A and B are shown apart, each in its own frame.
Chain A
Amino acid sequence: MATFTFTPHIASRPTLSSSSKRKPKFNSIKTTKVSLQTSPPSLSDPFVLQLAETLEDSLPSSSLPFPLQKLRESSAETLLSTPWPSRRDEAFRFTDVSFIKQSQIHPISNPPQSSQLSSIPVETQFANVVIIDGHFVDSVSNLTELPNGVYVGSFIDLPSHSIAKRVSEFVDGKFVGDLFWSINGVGAPDLTVVYVPAGCKVENPIHFRYFSINGGEEGSKELAVSNPRVLVLVENGGEIEIIEEFLSGDGGRSYWANPVLEVVIGCGGKVKHSYIQNQSLNAAHIKWTSVQQESTSAYELVEISTGGKLSRHNVHIQQLGPETMTELSTLHLSVGNQTQDLHSSLVLDHPRGYSRQLHKCIVANPQGQAVFDGNVKVNRYAQQTDAGQLTRSLLLEPRATVNVKPNLQIIADDVKCSHGAAISDLEETQLFYFQARGIDLETARKALIFSFGAEVIERLPSTSVQKRVENHIKELLNTTLERS
């Protein structure tokens, strides 16, 4: 039978405000940032060390602008004391990353050759950024119609010194994620910047297209790693829509995409973010999205992940002022022998914040897996917070697995918080209703499965993207359901 575990956590701990999930004994001993990341003060992990060295060697050390140099150094330092995660680490209990460790990892040190660019399809609808194997490629991007004062491009090419200085404040920020965050910090060849000046409302979305063209042949142990890094800085009152699309590349190549996106939203600013992950079924895709929200700002994320052998999205959202609005919607689809993982953490420290999270996943393969760990922390001063969280999973095959762990940690005492979790197969009564109207079982199943995901797909702000995603999901489901 299909299996699942469900561990809701509603903790109310008035004194402990540490971000650590470890047992208090570590908290009392160690208070530095590093200690929260690691198990007892450990020796360096030789595999991680070697990986960090390979990445460092692959990149030219000179000519890096100072903030990036600093990021690289601090990330390298963190890696010194961070071991490769195992299933014994809570954050990786259900997500096996050993497949990366067992591969031969090659960094991609050079930007793509111009002969490789001919395969990149032209996109005409939106202003768009093409990032190939972690490198921003200006020649195939199209950024001609940006409003005045808006900058999209490489950090090195920032036109004004004052903006460069402003952006630099955030390049090596306070937030430090896990090992994969730091690997990106060491391995990112460049930083792509989106800058929206105060009060500027960018009307059309900026479309980020990430391609992975280097990679081992299907079945090989080779894994080409790329570390794209993007920073979106929206000043007070600015508004922008970002579409991130990770494309599959040719066939079933094996590669490891390890992207980081940081978003900083000033007071009253607004960012709509679509993230579509459709990478090769032999790829590892481990993404970080870190968002900082000043007061009265709004951030909306809609994620649709269908690709990757191992796909994990880590989301960290930090509230910096009152009355923020945060909406996270996710659809994960596992049609093959693949893991789809969402680890999200939303930290509310100020009053009257509003947040909604919807996580939905469909596992349509006996070896498919979905993982969800959704943490919402409502700290002492976050009074009158309104936080809601819902996760729903559809398991369509025997032995298909989902592990969900929605958890609310509430310290403030005047809040409205809700969460729920449901795991099911399709409803018999609904299927019969279709049949009773002459619709065959297969069509009925497809319609019900698709409608389950449609709730998230409908939230994508761009209708053309919506249409494309819809067709892609229908295609995936059709081939899967016909096979079974």
Chain B
Amino acid sequence: MAYCSSSSTTSASPVVRYLPSNSTSSTTSTFSPLPFRSNRRRSVRIATASLSPVNSPSTSFSGSQKNLLLEVKDLTAVIAESKQEILKGVNLVVYEGEVHAIMGKNGSGKSTFAKVLVGHPDYEVTGGSILFKGSDLLEMEPEERSLAGLFMSFQSPVEIPGVSNIDFLNMAYNARRRKLGLAELGPIEFYAYIFPKLDLVNMKTDFLNRNVNEGFSGGERKRNEILQLAVLGAEMAILDEIDSGLDVDALRDVAKAVNGLLTPNNSVLMITHYLRLLEFIEPSRIHIMEDGKIVKTGDISIAKLLEEEGYKAISTA
């Protein structure tokens, strides 16, 4: 018995040890000292590629160095309260540096999928698996998922009266620094850090002193979500309808900010109804979701077809 349990711990430990070192750094160098990881990754990649024969990505998918970031297998989930099934077996694979988009009708499960990924308490996972950077995401608390490098921008972020935006960001940023074993930043140091980021989302300074999302317009809320992304950073950013309720200028600002944050290692998963956003942030793959499943994967041409002929064209295709 004793032997048995000790051997199982050793086999699990590389994964555990590997995690923090990866999340500490957003630069590319992290992976070179761990060659065995990329070997393993590559084999996984081949396996999963065969699961989705539809795709033929035209953009940057040449390097065999690519690491697997997110792997969702047969994910099913229900609404916690009513037990109504929303996700009915979702499969998705995202590699580092890729931009994916999920499209689909209202009620097809896109937002639920995004919320399940970050551990929203309204939903209960009933089956399947989610691996993020090799770790089992479903075993992690929402805050651990965030600290591991997963970020979701909320479709309609909640108001938090009495907590100023800058205090909130400072708290979140310090939680990250604590995780990395760095000293926390005081309000003044943090102000110096955050001030330049405001330009990214084209916001004025007084934005920081207002309470989180309180009385914010739709556009301001979206900008605020992207500001949080800019401050906290993320290896995987899930943008849930970041374009809804935005005018063209605001959309351009937000898209510019997102593009500015993209690096060869960061991935983005966008959820949207419109081609317009995809013209600003170009995805390498587009997935169509229908009734809790991804039913089709392809390149930008799918989105164009959708825009012209609606979902009927996809279903019948």
Which chain A residues lie closer than 8 Å to B158 at the CB level?
A: 427, 429-430, 433
Residues A437 and B228 in contact in the complex (CB < 8 Å), given A430-B160, A432-B121, A451-B160: yes
- Contact flags A455-466 to B (C-beta < 8 A → 1, else 0): 100000000000
Partner of A439, one of B118, B119, B162, B175: B175
Which chain B residues lie closer than 8 Å to A438 at the CB level?
A: 143, 146-147, 172, 175-176, 179, 232
Closest to A438 in B: B146
Interface of chain A: mostly helix, strand, loop or mixed: helix
Closest to B160 in A: A430
Interface size class of B (residues with CB under 8 A): 20 to 34
Q: How far is the CA of A220 from the CA of B168 in the complex (A)?
A: 46
Partner of A433, one of B141, B154, B167, B179: B154
Q: Could you tell me the distance in whole angstroms from the C-beta of B104 to the nearest C-beta in chain A? A: 23
- Contact flags A422-433 to B (C-beta < 8 A → 1, else 0): 000001111011
- CB–CB A433/B160 < 8 A: yes
For the complex, is A441 an interface residue (Cβ under 8 Å from B)? Answer: yes
Partner of A435, one of B146, B154, B167: B146
- CB–CB B121/A428 < 8 A: yes
**Residue of A430, A435, A448, A450 with most chain B CB atoms under a 10 A cut-off:** A435
Q: Could you tell me the distance in whole angstroms from the C-beta of A470 to the nearest C-beta in chain B? A: 13
Closest to A454 in B: B162
For the complex, is B89 an interface residue (Cβ under 8 Å from A)? Answer: no
Closest to B212 in A: A433
Partner of A436, one of B146, B162, B212: B146
For the complex, is B120 an interface residue (Cβ under 8 Å from A)? Answer: yes
Which chain B residues lie closer than 8 Å to A454 at the CB level?
A: 162
Q: How far is the CA of A436 from the CA of B158 in the complex (A)?
A: 12
Partner of A451, one of B118, B141, B152, B162: B162
- CB–CB B142/A432 < 8 A: yes
Partner of B146, one of A437, A448, A455: A437
Q: Could you tell me the distance in whole angstroms from the C-beta of B289 to the nearest C-beta in chain A? A: 22
Which chain A residues lie closer than 8 Å to B157 at the CB level?
A: 433
Which chain B residues lie closer than 8 Å to A437 at the CB level?
A: 143, 146, 168, 172, 175, 228, 232
Partner of B161, one of A428, A433, A435, A451: A451
For the complex, is A39 an interface residue (Cβ under 8 Å from B)? Answer: no
For the complex, is B171 an interface residue (Cβ under 8 Å from A)? Answer: yes
- Contact flags B146-169 to A (C-beta < 8 A → 1, else 0): 110000101001101111000110
Q: How far is the CA of A434 from the CA of B141 in the complex (A)?
A: 12
Q: Could you tell me the distance in whole angstroms from the C-beta of A373 to the nearest C-beta in chain B? A: 26
Q: How far is the CA of A450 from the CA of B119 in the complex (A)?
A: 25
Closest to B167 in A: A447
For the complex, is A440 an interface residue (Cβ under 8 Å from B)? Answer: yes
Q: Could you tell me the distance in whole angstroms from the C-beta of B87 to the nearest C-beta in chain A? A: 19
Which chain B residues lie closer than 8 Å to A433 at the CB level?
A: 154, 157-158, 160, 212
Partner of B175, one of A429, A440, A455: A440
Q: Could you tell me the distance in whole angstroms from the C-beta of A444 to the nearest C-beta in chain B? A: 8
Closest to B141 in A: A435
Q: Could you tell me the distance in whole angstroms from the C-beta of A440 to the nearest C-beta in chain B? A: 5
For the complex, is A170 an interface residue (Cβ under 8 Å from B)? Answer: no
- Contact flags A94-122 to B (C-beta < 8 A → 1, else 0): 00000000000000000000000000000
Near A by CB (< 8 A), chain B positions 76-128 give: 118-121
- CB–CB B142/A436 < 8 A: yes
- CB–CB B143/A435 < 8 A: yes
Which chain B residues lie closer than 8 Å to A275 at the CB level?
A: none
Which chain B residues lie closer than 8 Å to A451 at the CB level?
A: 160-163
For the complex, is A443 an interface residue (Cβ under 8 Å from B)? Answer: yes
Closest to A440 in B: B143
Which chain A residues lie closer than 8 Å to B160 at the CB level?
A: 430, 433, 448, 451
Q: How far is the CA of A455 from the CA of B160 in the complex (A)?
A: 13
Q: How far is the CA of A429 from the CA of B156 in the complex (A)?
A: 11
Interface size class of A (residues with CB under 8 A): 20 to 34
For the complex, is A84 an interface residue (Cβ under 8 Å from B)? Answer: no
- Contact flags A392-430 to B (C-beta < 8 A → 1, else 0): 000000000000000000000000000000000001111
Q: Could you tell me the distance in whole angstroms from the C-beta of B215 to the nearest C-beta in chain A? A: 15
Partner of B163, one of A432, A441, A448: A448
Q: Could you tell me the distance in whole angstroms from the C-beta of B79 to the nearest C-beta in chain A? A: 14
Q: How far is the CA of A336 from the CA of B179 in the complex (A)?
A: 34
Q: How far is the CA of A447 from the CA of B172 in the complex (A)?
A: 12
For the complex, is A452 an interface residue (Cβ under 8 Å from B)? Answer: yes
Q: How far is the CA of A435 from the CA of B162 in the complex (A)?
A: 17
Q: Could you tell me the distance in whole angstroms from the C-beta of B190 to the nearest C-beta in chain A? A: 14
Near A by CB (< 8 A), chain B positions 159-197 give: 160-163, 167-168, 171-172, 175-176, 179
Closest to B162 in A: A451
Which chain A residues lie closer than 8 Å to B172 at the CB level?
A: 434, 437-439
Which chain A residues lie closer than 8 Å to B161 at the CB level?
A: 451, 455
Residues A439 and B143 in contact in the complex (CB < 8 Å), given A430-B160, A452-B162, A454-B162: yes
Which chain B residues lie closer than 8 Å to A452 at the CB level?
A: 162
- CB–CB A447/B146 < 8 A: no
Residues A443 and B162 in contact in the complex (CB < 8 Å), given A432-B120, A436-B118, A438-B232: no
Partner of B143, one of A429, A430, A441: A441
**Residue of B118, B143, B146, B212 with most chain A CB atoms under a 10 A cut-off:** B143
Near A by CB (< 8 A), chain B positions 210-259 give: 212, 228, 232
Q: Could you tell me the distance in whole angstroms from the C-beta of B267 to the nearest C-beta in chain A? A: 18
Q: Could you tell me the distance in whole angstroms from the C-beta of A294 to the nearest C-beta in chain B? A: 36
Q: How far is the CA of A439 from the CA of B174 in the complex (A)?
A: 9
Q: Could you tell me the distance in whole angstroms from the C-beta of B261 to the nearest C-beta in chain A? A: 16
Closest to A458 in B: B162
Q: Could you tell me the distance in whole angstroms from the C-beta of B238 to the nearest C-beta in chain A? A: 10
- CB–CB B232/A447 < 8 A: no
Partner of B152, one of A436, A439, A440: A436
Q: How far is the CA of A470 from the CA of B1 in the complex (A)?
A: 55
Q: How far is the CA of A452 from the CA of B162 in the complex (A)?
A: 6
Closest to A450 in B: B162
Q: How far is the CA of A429 from the CA of B171 in the complex (A)?
A: 18
Binding site for A on B (CB under 8 A): 118-121, 141-143, 146-147, 152, 154, 157-158, 160-163, 167-168, 171-172, 175-176, 179, 212, 228, 232
Binding site for B on A (CB under 8 A): 427-430, 432-441, 443, 447-448, 450-452, 454-455
Identify the 10 closest CB pairs spanning chains A and B, nearest first.
Answer: A451-B162, A438-B146, A435-B142, A437-B172, A438-B175, A435-B143, A438-B147, A429-B158, A451-B163, A439-B175
Can you list 30 A-B contacts with CB-CB less than 8 angstroms, sorted by A residue number?
A428-B121, A432-B120, A433-B158, A433-B212, A434-B172, A435-B141, A435-B142, A435-B146, A436-B118, A436-B142, A436-B152, A437-B146, A437-B172, A437-B232, A438-B146, A438-B176, A439-B143, A439-B171, A439-B172, A440-B143, A441-B141, A441-B143, A443-B175, A447-B163, A447-B167, A447-B171, A450-B162, A452-B162, A454-B162, A455-B161
Contacts A447-B167, A455-B161 known; list 15 others, CB within 8 Å: A430-B158, A430-B160, A433-B154, A433-B157, A434-B172, A435-B143, A436-B152, A438-B143, A438-B146, A438-B176, A439-B175, A440-B175, A443-B171, A443-B175, A451-B163
